[in-house]
């Protein structure tokens, strides 16, 4: 029995291949982050944030306005992106319910243009946008909690208590951005399986270039001048304590 090639068969081959490329790369990135955190950009960023929180807790709570401003800027960015994602989801939902999607049944699209596949394309795109919205929403929640903790006066808070929501906010942010990358891949599927496969390969190559680093983790040490001043101040205080009993 001879099998006749049809353009609809291209979706069966290239769509799973595209998903394999995207999921395969992110599984590899997760493995690399768990085993060799210092070789990923995400690991470097988390290291810097941990040190930043540690340094900020060494100053008085009334002087931590710059820390609150930094966290608030991340909070604003997460809130903005979550709003954009939910708006795009609403637009896609309205688009699916209209007849304008018939323009994607054009003969110029080399692939399956059946009604069920078109609906599946929009469902996958919508799912990625909703996942991105949820991730950015939880990122904003973590940053709000970090703002409350880091601005709390007259209390001894362990560093790990504040580091945790800051790192969690950064993690949810990264997940939201990755969900948008998947959404972009599914968006290209609307125009056919070939653009989807090409975009997934290009995205994976670019992300691999941007996510890796060979630079060692920087050890943020206090400035030497500050140490000298602190040491001089301690010596002056010690001398004053010796002189006071004699007086």
pTM of the model: 0.82
pLDDT of amino acid 213: 87
Query: What is the per-residue pLDDT across 18-48, written as a single tens digit (0 to 9) for each?
Result: 999 999 999 999 999 999 888 899 999 999 9
Asked whether the predicted pLDDT for residue 183 surpasses 60, the reply is yes
> What local confidence, expressed as pLDDT, does residue 135 receive?
96
CB-based contact 34:207 (threshold 8 Å): no
| pLDDT, the chain, mean | 84
Per-residue pLDDT band at 241 (split at 50, 70, 90): low
Distance (Å, whole) CA 77 – CA 151: 20
Q: List, for residues 40-82, the tens digit of each pLDDT value.
A: 999 999 999 999 999 888 888 777 888 889 999 999 999 999 9
Give yes or no for a contact between 22 and 181, defined as CB atoms under 8 angstroms apart. Answer: yes
Instruction: Kindly report the length of the chain.
Output: 247
The two tokens of residue 15 are 């769509």
Above 80 in pLDDT, residue 102?
A: no
**Which residue in 160, 148, 131 sits closest to 75, CA to CA?**
148
Half-sphere exposure of 96 (CA within 13 A, CB side): 19
pLDDT (0 to 100) of residue 132: 96
User: What is the residue-wise DSSP string for 67-114?
Assistant: HHHHHHHHHHHHHHHHHHHHHHHHHHHHHHTSSGGGGGG-TTS-S---
Dist. CA 145–CA 171, nearest whole Å:
15
Q: pLDDT: is 155 or 172 the higher one?
A: 172
Task: Indicate if the pLDDT at residue 190 is higher than 90.
Answer: no
pLDDT at residue 38, as a whole number: 87
Q: Report the alpha-carbon distance of residue 141 to residue 130 in Å, rounded.
A: 16
pLDDT tens digit sequence for 218-239? 777 776 655 555 555 566 666 5
Hey, what are 76's tokens? 């604003």
Could you tell me the pLDDT band of residue 105, with boundaries at 50, 70 and 90? Answer: low
For residue 59, give the 3-state DSSP assignment: coil
């Amino acid at each position: 029995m001879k099998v006749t090639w049809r353009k609809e068969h291209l979706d069966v081959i290239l769509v799973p291949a595209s998903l394999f490329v995207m999921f395969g790369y992110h599984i590899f990135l997760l493995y690399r982050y768990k085993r060799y955190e210092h070789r990923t950009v995400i690991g470097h960023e988390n290291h810097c944030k941990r040190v930043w929180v540690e340094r900020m807790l060494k100053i008085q709570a009334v002087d931590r306005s710059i820390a609150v401003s930094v966290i608030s800027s991340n909070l604003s960015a997460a809130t903005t992106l979550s709003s954009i994602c939910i708006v795009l989801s609403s637009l896609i939902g309205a688009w699916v319910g209209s007849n304008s999607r018939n323009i994607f049944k054009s003969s110029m699209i080399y692939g399956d243009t059946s009604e069920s596949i078109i609906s599946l394309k929009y469902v996958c795109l919508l799912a990625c946008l909703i996942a991105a919205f949820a991730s950015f929403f939880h990122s904003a929640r973590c940053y709000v909690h970090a703002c409350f903790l880091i601005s709390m006066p007259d209390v001894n808070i362990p560093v790990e208590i504040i580091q945790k929501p800051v790192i969690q906010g950064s993690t949810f942010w990264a997940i939201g951005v990755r969900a948008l990358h998947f959404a972009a891949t599914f968006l290209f599927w609307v125009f056919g399986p070939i653009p989807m496969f090409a975009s997934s390969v290009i995205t994976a190559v670019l992300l691999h270039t941007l996510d890796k680093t060979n630079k060692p983790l920087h050890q943020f040490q206090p400035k030497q001048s500050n140490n000298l001043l602190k040491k001089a101040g301690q010596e002056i205080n010690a001398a004053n304590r010796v002189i006071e009993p004699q007086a």
